[in-house]
Amino acid sequence: MSTKRPEALRVAVLASGRGSNLQAVIDAIEAGTVQAKIVSVISNKKDAPALERASRQGLSSLFVDPKPYAGRPDSREAYDRELLDVLRRHNVELVLLAGYMKIVTKVLVEAFANRMMNIHPSLLPSFPGLDVQKKAIEWGCKLAGCTVHFVTEGVDEGPIILQAAVPILDDDTSDTLAARILEQEHKIYPRAVQLFAEGRLRVEGRRVFIEAGKPDGQAVISPS
CB burial of 126-157 (b: ≥16 within 10 Å; e: otherwise) equals ebeeeebbebbbeeebeebbbbbbbbbeeebb
Residue 78 vs 164, nearer CB to ligand GRF: 164
Residue 63 vs 199, nearer CB to ligand GRF: 63
Which amino acid, one-letter code, is at 189? Y
Peptide bond into 125 cis (omega under 30): yes
Burial class (CB in 10 A: 0-12, 13-18, 19+), 8: middle
Q: Which of 12, 13, 21, 198 binds ligand GRF (CB under 6 A)?
A: 21
Residue 122 vs 198, nearer CB to ligand GRF: 122
Q: Is 19 in the site for ligand GRF (CB under 6 A)?
A: yes
Q: How far is the CB of 189 from ligand GRF (least distance, A)?
A: 8
Window of 30-38, 69-77, 113-121, 163-171 that interacts with ligand GRF by CB under 6 A: 113-121
Q: Is 135 in the site for ligand GRF (CB under 6 A)?
A: no
Q: Is 126 in the site for ligand GRF (CB under 6 A)?
A: no
120 belongs to the catalytic site: yes
Which amino acid, one-letter code, is at 55? S
Residue 162 DSSP SS3: strand
Q: Which residues bind ligand GRF (CB under 6 A)?
A: 15, 17-21, 98-99, 119-121, 146, 182, 185
> Catalytic residue positions?
120
